[in-house]
Structure 1
Amino acid sequence: MLDTRRNIALACSLSALAGYIDGIGFLHLGGLFVSFMSGNSTRMGVSLAEANWLNAANALVLIVLFVAGAAAGSLIVLGRGAYRQTWLLVAEAALLAAAALFHHVGYSASAIAAIVLAMGLENAVFQIEGGAGLGLTYVTGALVKVGQLVATALTGGGRWAWVPNLLLWAALVAGSTCGALAYHWLNLAAVWFAAALALALGVAMAGAGRA
């Protein structure tokens, strides 16, 4: 999937978007994540061990919402309609805009729920029939690929095949840095910028004739 410049650019843009949102969510939730469910799963396990039932329940709710978003995204891209990826990004933009509006009227919990659904949704952008697609809101798999492809390069394989996965990681780090800075400036209202980016990417994909 990271086989063309267009796909690499789109994937890195979406990874940066996810990092931006996760930086905001991490600060707002005091250590929980809105897109990194491995981290939330670990926090849930630790909270259960410490009998901190409220923290464990909060982590579980985030995980369930993320899975629901991923399922909704898959239903969109595996459907038969035209411009499925575009509609998925428009749906993500709508959820992020709704989150910003919820925050504006004082419903922060609803804002977080909309954000987590949007992050789950995003992971279906590169999904193909019968496959899991490309994870965009977490980069553990990308870093594993970097290591594997570096080893391949050292043993005579493609010299630069590892670079796209490293760029995916770097995009998420850059996005999370910007998200943290934006949160200190605007709180959850910073999500408006992410909504605008998701919408712009959806429009760009429609213009490029993507399915």
Structure 2
Amino acid sequence: MLAHLPPIAPALCQRVTPIWCWNVRPHRMITSGFCPVFCSPPSAARTVEPSLTRNRHERPTMAQTPAQSSAPVSRSARRIALLGMIAGYGNALGFVELGGVFVGAMTGNTTDMGAALASGDWPHGLKVAAIVAVFFISAVLAGVVRRLWLPARGFLIMAGLLVVTQAVQGHPAQRVCELLFLPAFMAVQGETISRFSGNAIQTIVITSNLLKCASAVAGWLVSLLPGSTSARPAHGTILLPGLAWAAFFLGAMAATAALRLHAPLPFLWPLPLLAILYADLAHAERAHDPD
């Protein structure tokens, strides 16, 4: 290339360099056919090729990549089983006590609210709107608590809400207190812990868990096909979402049975489960264990 350049070419290229070559990336100069030796200052010419070689050939090592660990699936399964039963129990109690309105399923409540307001049933529509608003505000406050303090304190807040709800039973303000405390109870649970063994699983929402479980089962079936190159999903991606649904179902049945049998202090039944969860999560936080 140097043999075909006229004698004036290097001088012209050096004069043009301050105008255009400083604004062109090195790899663009190389691919455009210009020689960076003539169209770059000496310092740039020395640094272009090493940087390109380093970016092309270097790969992050294990020491450079932070290790990501997750909790054992058995521990996550235990937590999901307890949380799922608590969520199903609380949602069923609220559904019965508040006359067919959910305290944790905001998808159904939003549909119910829209249908009620569109049909002119303003009292019911506004009641559902109040539940949605309480749920949202409580989730915001629970998120603040989780970020400023330890997430395990969320279980203490949940226990306090249940105790207050039980204390107002038979009081004239019972329905108003239930409308405030039960959605807050569910929102705090949803915001306190929602990650298990690296999987994002919301224990108060069942629809997404069914979809996650179905997707993992589909991936497992495809991986069994002859000649399939699909990776087989981890056992936790199938077990944990499915367990969340089953535990929620059992919790709802337990709450309904407690109400039908007129069991004493029905709002306090989840307290032992909350105590177990608090001790478990608090110990994990002190040990800096993963989710």
Superposition deviation, residue 145 in structure 1: 0.2
Per-residue displacement from partner, 1:13-48 (whole Å, max 9, x unpaired)? 111101001111111122111111111111111101
Q: Is 2:273 the partner of 1:197?
A: yes
Superposition deviation, residue 138 in structure 1: 1.6
C-alpha change, 1:188 and 1:53, in structure 2 (3 Å) is farther
Match of 2:205, SS? Answer: coil
Equivalent residues of 2:94, 2:102 under 8 A apart? yes
More helix by share: 1
TM-score using structure 1 length: 0.87
Q: Residue in 1 aligned with 2:168? A: 102
* Inter-partner Cα distance in structure 2 for 1:65 and 1:208: 30
* Inter-partner Cα distance in structure 2 for 1:42 and 1:188: 34
* Inter-partner Cα distance in structure 1 for 2:274 and 2:234: 33
Match of 2:262, SS? Answer: helix
Q: Residue in 2 aligned with 1:184? A: 260
Bigger RCO (CA 8 Å, 6+ sep): 1
Superposition deviation, residue 127 in structure 1: 5.0
Q: Residue in 2 aligned with 1:14? A: 83
* Inter-partner Cα distance in structure 2 for 1:85 and 1:77: 5
What are structure 1's unaligned runs of at least 5 residues?
none
Per-residue displacement from partner, 1:134-156 (whole Å, max 9, x unpaired)? 42212111001011111110121
Q: Which amino acid aligns with 1:69?
A: S
Match of 1:85, SS? Answer: coil
Per-residue displacement from partner, 1:160-208 (whole Å, max 9, x unpaired)? 4312111110000110011111122337931111234223321333244
Equivalent residues of 2:95, 2:102 under 8 A apart? yes
Q: Residue in 2 aligned with 1:37? A: 106
- Specify which of 157, 166, 173 is matched with residue 91 of structure 1: 157
TM-score using structure 2 length: 0.64
Equivalent residues of 2:201, 2:209 under 8 A apart? no
* Inter-partner Cα distance in structure 1 for 2:107 and 2:204: 11
Match of 2:152, SS? Answer: helix
* Inter-partner Cα distance in structure 2 for 1:188 and 1:45: 36
Counting only pairs closer than 5 Å after superposition, residues 1-211 of structure 1 correspond to structure 2 as 4-79=73-148, 81=149, 84-108=150-174, 109-126=176-193, 134-156=201-223, 157-158=232-233, 160=235, 161-186=237-262, 189-209=265-285
* Inter-partner Cα distance in structure 2 for 1:42 and 1:187: 32
Match of 1:162, SS? Answer: helix
Query: Structure 1 residues 193-202 or 50-59, which shifts more?
Result: 193-202
* Inter-partner Cα distance in structure 2 for 1:101 and 1:51: 35
Q: Which amino acid aligns with 1:158?
A: P
Number of residues paired by the alignment? 204
Match of 1:34, SS? Answer: coil
RMSD: 2.2
Equivalent residues of 1:103, 1:189 under 8 A apart? no
Per-residue displacement from partner, 1:71-123 (whole Å, max 9, x unpaired)? 122111112x3xx1221111111111111112254431213311111110111
Equivalent residues of 1:99, 1:112 under 8 A apart? no
Q: Residue in 1 aligned with 2:28? A: none
Superposition deviation, residue 54 in structure 1: 0.6
* Inter-partner Cα distance in structure 2 for 1:29 and 1:155: 45
Equivalent residues of 1:103, 1:188 under 8 A apart? no
